[in-house]
Chains A and B, each alone.
Chain A
Amino acid sequence: MFAFTVRRIIQAIIVMLIISFIGFALKQNVGDPVRELTGISVSAAERDAIREKLGLNDPFLIQYGRFLKGAVLEGNIGQSFFYKKPAMEVILDKAPATIELVMCCTVLIVVLSIPMGIYSAIYPRRLLSRLIMGLSTIGVSVPIFLIAILLIYIFAIELNWLPSYGRGETVNVWGWESGLLTLDGLRHLILPTTALTALMLPLFVRLIRSEMMEVLQTEYVKFAWAKGLPRMRIWFVHAFKNTLLPVITVGGVQIGTMIAFTILTETVFQWGGLGFLFLEAVERADTSLLVAYLIFVGIIFVVVNTAVDIIYGLVNPMVRITGRK
């Protein structure tokens, strides 16, 4: 187990190095930092002096090393051209909005997908199960921005029940801008959360259903039936536990998808989070911020995926052994 963990962590570090390398190469080739700093009215000689002072004439790899050192030791991943602030600061400013959105969706998905998935696996022929499966087929075919637009059209424009954009009123709790604690903030949260959940839910319901159905066919479940154990115990204690294993892995991978979809959701709802920030950075050609976002999201992915793999290795010894081959 120790060797497995170490190997996964080394792999994660290599991936992070590759991502930071791509990000840095991009920053080097797009845009001129000296021009960003000085404007047009500075003479060529002065520019060269600044260039030399900033170390921009050093070989690429030395500059990369310096960038890496700054990133690891001080969390400095560049300066946003537009905000004139460290990119990390800008990102951390906007992160709470996205984290709250993703958290609410995760809670909803867990609460809804498990009963729905189990129910449609236990009673595959009942009307409700068919309804769940039918809806999830359609759900997979509808792009999220359409769900979001439909929600806005129905609930914000036609019925005028809920606000259609922004985060509403927020409260500052120890530096964390939270919209969860005010009524207005919660009202603003409903539509984006619904849109994002509606997209991710079908995937998990289908996964839990197919895994559960597979587990229900296994020998040990049949043996549990033969022993005459109560139904609830077989379903929830015996079968469901083993259903969860693959759900954990897929769940880890799906966090990436979820972050990609927050970009779409936040655009539609003008939600002032990371996704919105990213698109603004693209429109303003703020390469520095773009690269910072790339690295930040990369860290999240790598950390989550590594953690999921290690947890999975802890609960399922088969992974450790096959991973050794």
Chain B
Amino acid sequence: MRLWKQFRGSYFLYSFLHDPVAMGSFVILALLTLAAFGAPVIAPHDPYDTTTINIMDSEIPPMWMDNGDQNFTLGTDAQGRDMLSTMLYGMRISLIIGVGATFMQAVIGIVLGLIAGYKGGKVDNFLMRMADVQLSFSTLMVAIFLSAIFQAIFGVAAFESMAVPFLVLVIGIAEWPQYARTVRASVLAEKKKEYVEAARVMGLPANRIMWRHILPNTMSPILVLSTVQVAHAIMSEAALSFLGLGMPITKPSLGSLINSGFDYIFSGSWWITMFPGLLLVLLILVINLLGDWVQDVLNPKLYKG
């Protein structure tokens, strides 16, 4: 109860209620998330249930066009799956991978960033050099290479059956330097403060100081970074799936749906590509707008370097 009261009186909520863009983005994002995770209940068809799919229904245009079918609001794809349902299920996969990959990056990045910042010296030098080198290759490139390598090692079939954890891992490894750099920079700034010195004088072990004293104070830059990174991860996943290095078409994410529709765009079936594309852009746009707002409100000192 006290927490709720504190939250109601906070500047965070106040600025949220006075920013129509942030509120609008939040509402849209909430609706999209709800629709994605409520897909088994909301969606009119089940795209994973092959018994209900009829190949004769393939490439039906949206219902307001000629030859449209009342059964399929946004038309069907090349395999006869209802576009609306497939998109909802696809968005669920995109969101799961996006959030999962961000969590993965955060775990790797925070641990390494804390160690680098707190220990300093050789460890710091080594870890940050590694981050520099990896960043100079651009995260998307690293992700593309990693999934190509994983596919080569485990074979396409194994990769496809385990695609979600693999993609979380790939995008997580590809983007950890972002977190490590941010965390390290704030750790360096916090380390000089008196409370850390006090803790050290009391003889607390380094681990306790790192995790219980410094980490909570680096939370606001981490939060700001996280919103941006979710959008980034969703985008990376879509790019990988579009290249055929991500989710297989039997369990499509938004990216693989766009990819599968691309083959049919020349025969005039634009809806297979355009609807998932629009949904993807909307999803990324609202997360980015929310990220801008969070950054303005929390206004963390984003230390450079």
Contacts and interface: CB of A to CB of B under 8 A. Distances in A.
Q: Is the interface of B mostly helix, strand, loop or mixed?
A: helix
A264 to B, nearest CB: 6
29 contacts: A11-B129, A15-B133, A26-B149, A26-B152, A140-B288, A141-B231, A142-B281, A142-B284, A143-B280, A144-B239, A149-B265, A150-B277, A152-B265, A153-B265, A153-B273, A157-B265, A164-B266, A252-B136, A256-B138, A256-B141, A257-B140, A257-B141, A259-B141, A260-B140, A260-B141, A263-B144, A267-B242, A282-B245, A290-B149
Interface in A140-161: 140-146, 149-150, 152-153, 157
Contact of B136 (A26, A30, A263, A305): A305
A260 B245 CA distance: 14
Contact of B288 (A11, A141, A253, A259): A141
Nearest to A264: B239
A260 B262 contact: no
Contact of A282 (B148, B242, B284): B148
Contacts of B255: 143
Nearest to A298: B137
A287 B265 contact: no
A149 B138 contact: no
B138 A253 contact: yes
A201 interface: no
A143 B243 CA distance: 13
Given A153-B265, A282-B245, A143 B239 contact: yes
B243 to A, nearest CB: 6
Given A29-B153, A290-B148, A146 B133 contact: no
A119 B68 CA distance: 48
A279 interface: yes
B60 interface: no
B288 A137 contact: yes
B303 interface: no
A252 B280 CA distance: 29
A145 B238 CA distance: 9
Contacts of A297: 141
B281 A30 contact: no
Contact of A279 (B133, B243, B265): B243
Contact of B152 (A30, A138, A252, A268): A30
Contacts of B259: 145
B276 to A, nearest CB: 9
A264 B265 contact: no
A24 interface: no
Interface in A265-321: 267-268, 278-279, 282-283, 285, 287, 290, 294, 297-298, 301, 305
